[in-house]
Amino acid sequence: MAGLVDWESFGVMAGGASGALTGLLFVAVSLNAQRIAGHPVLRAIAAQTLVLFIAPLVMATVLLVPRQPGWALGTEFIAAGLAGGLSLMVIGRRRRGPATAPERLAGLFDRRDTGIAVMLLFVTGGAVLASGSTAGLYLLPPASLVAFVSGVLSAWNFLLPPPDVL
């Protein structure tokens, strides 16, 4: 089984990708700022996407701390996953009123449930690490990949919205 030092390249790659995708999100939101700012559903989707892109960045940051014991890293993953999941739930509750047809179409890009699954993978991986097994690290790649793909779908919606949507 791989030790923590063997995951350094993954942490560098995930952190770099997360930073680049966060930049993409800011560009996408900036290009459509007026449309997004005027609509609570789009604002919530943008915030959820930001959480999805920042979560792997936080994971990579704590993963790359040198000579850190596994239990500490696991605890940090648990805390980050819980904070991210709580953030996604709070963002999701900010929506108000019944959804109109355009909002339902925009909701296709809403990745809150997917985001919660990502955070649960971080928490589970952290719990396994905190218990003394490095096997929890193997939950990081699927969590990061799902966060990236889901976030890119949302950012794409901001860059090229479907016709007649908001």
What does 54-116 look like in DSSP terms, one character per residue?
HHHHHHHHHHTSTT--HHHHHHHHHHHHHHHHHHHHHHHHT--SPPPHHHHHHGGG--HHHHH
**Has residue 115 got a pLDDT over 90?**
no
Residue 121: what pLDDT?
95
Its pTM stands at: 0.81
Total length of the chain:
166
Residue 155: what pLDDT?
78
Phi, psi torsion values for 69, nearest 5 degrees? -65, 150
pLDDT higher for 108 or 53?
53
Q: Are 154 and 36 in contact (CB under 8 A)?
A: no
Mean pLDDT of 113-138: 92
Q: What is the pLDDT of residues 76-96, one digit of tens each?
A: 999 999 999 999 888 877 654
Among candidates 124, 114, 139, 54, which has minimal Cα distance to 82? Answer: 124
Q: Predicted confidence band at 9 (pLDDT cuts at 50, 70, 90)?
A: very high
**Has residue 1 got a pLDDT over 50?**
no
In sequence order, the 6+-apart residues with CB closer than 8 A to the CB of 93 are: none
pLDDT higher for 95 or 1?
95
